[in-house]
């Protein structure tokens, strides 16, 4: 075999190996983003929302990735509404960066969240104490979703900002736990 062909094959294999290593490292780092509490991404999302519209108000927060047992997530979604634009726009934050910014194609009229809401981990502790932990243990369940909004799932007072926790288990109805986001008290739980 010609020396040039041997060198080409050797070089090609080395370059292919290097490319594969880079791709694996990139994929691993994308999966291993550090989780953070919901409030930690709020400043960045709020700045983007104010640049979009000076009257934008925060109306909804939800985990955009898998949650850990402390209520932390590598990516959170923040939905803002602008009365002057009559539009809603969502920003998703991961690793201290905006990774999604999209207008909602549907009308989403929602009241702004209370400013003094408790962060995701604090509210989760209340949900865990009022049945979440037992449900996870007994049904091999996991916390699937956390969402913060005002009024929609509140028991009694439609002006209360609440965290809603959704626990899912294979072959069992999900457990929903609604926590008052300002007091940390569980308002209600149900299976469905």
Q: Is residue 14 situated within a structural domain?
A: no
Q: Is residue 10 situated within a structural domain?
A: no
Predicted pLDDT of residue 4: 52
Is there a single domain that holds both residue 65 and residue 88? yes
Domain limit, last residue, from 112, 135, 167? 112
CA–CA distance, 191 with 90 (Å, rounded to integer): 29
Domain limit, last residue, from 95, 112, 129? 112
CATH number of 182's domain: 3.10.450
Is there a single domain that holds both residue 49 and residue 70? yes
Q: Is residue 15 situated within a structural domain?
A: no
What is the span of the domain harbouring residue 162? 114-192
Predicted pLDDT of residue 139: 96
Look up residue 10 and give its two tokens: 């050797």
Predicted pLDDT of residue 26: 37
CA–CA distance, 167 with 176 (Å, rounded to integer): 6
Is there a single domain that holds both residue 78 and residue 107? yes
- Are 147 and 62 a contacting pair, CB within 8 Å? yes
Predicted pLDDT of residue 8: 41
Predicted pLDDT of residue 152: 72
Distances in Å between the Cα of 48 and the Cα atoms of 30, 91, 98, 185, 186 are: 23, 8, 9, 32, 32
Q: Is residue 90 situated within a structural domain?
A: yes
* Number of C-beta neighbours around residue 119 at 10 A: 18
Is there a single domain that holds both residue 126 and residue 67? no
Q: Is residue 6 situated within a structural domain?
A: no
181 alpha carbon, distance to own chain's centre:
16
Positions of the chain with pLDDT lower than 50, given as ranges: 5, 7-30
């Amino acid at each position: 075999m010609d020396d040039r062909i041997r060198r080409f094959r050797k070089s090609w294999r080395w370059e292919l190996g290097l490319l594969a290593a880079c791709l694996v490292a990139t994929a691993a780092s994308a999966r291993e983003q550090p989780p953070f509490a919901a409030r930690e991404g709020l400043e960045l999302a709020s700045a983007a929302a104010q640049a979009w519209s000076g009257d934008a108000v925060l109306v909804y927060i939800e985990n955009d990735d898998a949650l850990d047992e402390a209520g932390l997530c590598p990516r959170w979604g923040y939905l803002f509404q602008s009365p002057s634009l009559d539009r809603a726009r969502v920003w998703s934050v991961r690793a201290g960066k905006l990774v999604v910014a999209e207008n909602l194609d549907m009308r989403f009229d929602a009241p702004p969240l209370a400013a003094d809401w408790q962060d995701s981990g604090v509210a989760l502790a209340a949900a865990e104490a009022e049945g979440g932990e037992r449900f996870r243990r007994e049904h091999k369940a996991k916390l699937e979703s956390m969402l913060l909004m005002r009024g929609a799932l509140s028991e009694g007072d439609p002006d209360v900002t609440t965290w809603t926790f959704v626990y899912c288990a294979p072959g069992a109805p999900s457990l929903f736990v609604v926590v008052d986001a300002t007091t940390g008290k569980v308002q209600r739980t149900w299976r469905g």
